[in-house]
Amino acid sequence: MSKLNRENRVSVREKIHSPYDPLPLTISKALVLAKVREENVSWVDDLQPQWIPYIYTADNEPGYFPVPENKGREGMAYLTHIIDQYDTLTDITVFMHASATQWHNDVGDTNSSSVLSMLRLEAVKQRGYVNLRCHHRPGCPTAVRPFDPELVSSSSIVYRNFTTIYTELFNTSIETVPKEIGGVCCGQFALTRERIHRRRREDYVHMRDWAFSTSLDNFTVGSVFEMLWHMVFLEDPVS
C-alpha cells in the first residue's frame, strides 16, 4: 500500500472520535440485514424509530423482505435493497449481518447494536462509504493481485478466475482490472444515498444478474462480493 493510501486510510475508531460537522436532526437512517431462518433479529426492535429496519430473508420467512434467489449470501439482500429502494433511499444506509453479535464487529465488543451506537454518522456523510471493521486484516494491504502468475495454479477458484469474474461483474474489459486490490473485510458497511447513486440502478441490476447466472456457488459468490464491496461503491482498488 502506498504512503498516500496509508495516510488516507481512516479506521472506524478514528471516525468515531474525530471532529466532523454535526448532521441535521432529521437525517434518515436505514438498517439492512440479511438473515437466515435460525437467526433471531429481535435486537433490532430496540433501535426503532431511530433506525428503519429492512430485514431480508433467504428462507422465504413471512414478515420479512424476500430475495429473488438464495445466491451470494448477504450480497443478494444488499443488492436487492439497493435496486428496489434506489429512488427512495434514506440519507444513510447501514448493511449488516443479522445476528446480534458478529465476529466481524470489533468496535468495543462484538455486539451489533454497540457498533451502531458508536458509529459517527457525520463521518459516513463526509466519506460516503465506511467499512464497519477497525482491524485492517483480512483484506489489507492487498487481498489479490489479479495478474500474479501464481494465481493460475491457486487452489481457489476465485483467484484462478479472478480477471474473468471481475470483468463479468463490472461489465468491463480486462484492461481495467487493477493490478492490486485490497480493502477492509467483510460484508458490513455504511453508505450515503449519494454514494450509492454514483452508480446507475442498472449497474446494480447487472451485478445481481451476474450472481444469478455465474456457475460459482452461493458461498463463493458471497466471498467475491466481500472482496469487492469497496469497489462496487467506487472506492480506490486499494483503500
User: Rounded to a whole number, what is the largest CA-CA distance in the chain?
Assistant: 54
Determine contact, residues 226/78, Cβ cutoff 8 Å: no
Do 23 and 103 lie in one domain? The reply is yes
Q: Is residue 194 domain-resident? A: yes
Neighbouring residues of 156: CB distance < 8 A, sequence distance ≥ 6: none
Do 130 and 63 lie in one domain? The reply is yes
Do 108 and 213 lie in one domain? The reply is yes
Do 74 and 151 lie in one domain? The reply is no
> What is the reported pLDDT for 12?
43
Do 71 and 152 lie in one domain? The reply is no
Number of domains in the chain: 2
Q: What are phi and psi of 54, to 5 degrees?
A: -125, 100
Do 124 and 172 lie in one domain? The reply is no
Do 55 and 129 lie in one domain? The reply is yes
Full DSSP string of 186-203: SS-EEEEHHHHTTS-HHH
> What is the reported pLDDT for 137?
54
* pTM for this model (two decimals): 0.85
For 78-94, how does the pLDDT look when each residue is reduced to its tens digit (9 = 90+)?
999 999 999 999 999 99
Do 187 and 112 lie in one domain? The reply is yes
> What is the reported pLDDT for 4?
35
Do 93 and 130 lie in one domain? The reply is yes
CATH code for position 195: 3.90.550
For 159-203, how does the pLDDT look when each residue is reduced to its tens digit (9 = 90+)?
899 999 999 999 999 999 999 998 877 789 999 999 999 999 999
CA-angle at 52, arms to 184 and 36, nearest 5°: 65
**Sheet with strand 65-66: strands edge to edge:** 65-66, 52-57, 29-35, 92-97, 189-192, 129-131
Neighbouring residues of 164: CB distance < 8 A, sequence distance ≥ 6: none
How far apart are the C-alpha atoms of 49 and 11, rounded to whole Å? Answer: 28
How far apart are the C-alpha atoms of 36 and 175, rounded to whole Å? Answer: 38
Measured CA distances, 109 to 83, 97, 100, 116 (Å): 32, 15, 11, 12
Q: Is residue 68 domain-resident? A: yes
> What is the reported pLDDT for 25?
59
Do 155 and 39 lie in one domain? The reply is no
> What domain range includes position 173?
144-181
Q: Is residue 239 domain-resident? A: no
- The list of the chain residues with pLDDT below 50 reads 1-20, 139-140
Closest among 226, 76, 78, 231 to 139, alpha carbons compared: 226
Do 93 and 211 lie in one domain? The reply is yes
**CA atoms lying within 13 Å on the CB side of residue 66:** 6
Q: Is residue 237 domain-resident? A: no
Do 153 and 225 lie in one domain? The reply is no
Determine contact, residues 72/82, Cβ cutoff 8 Å: no
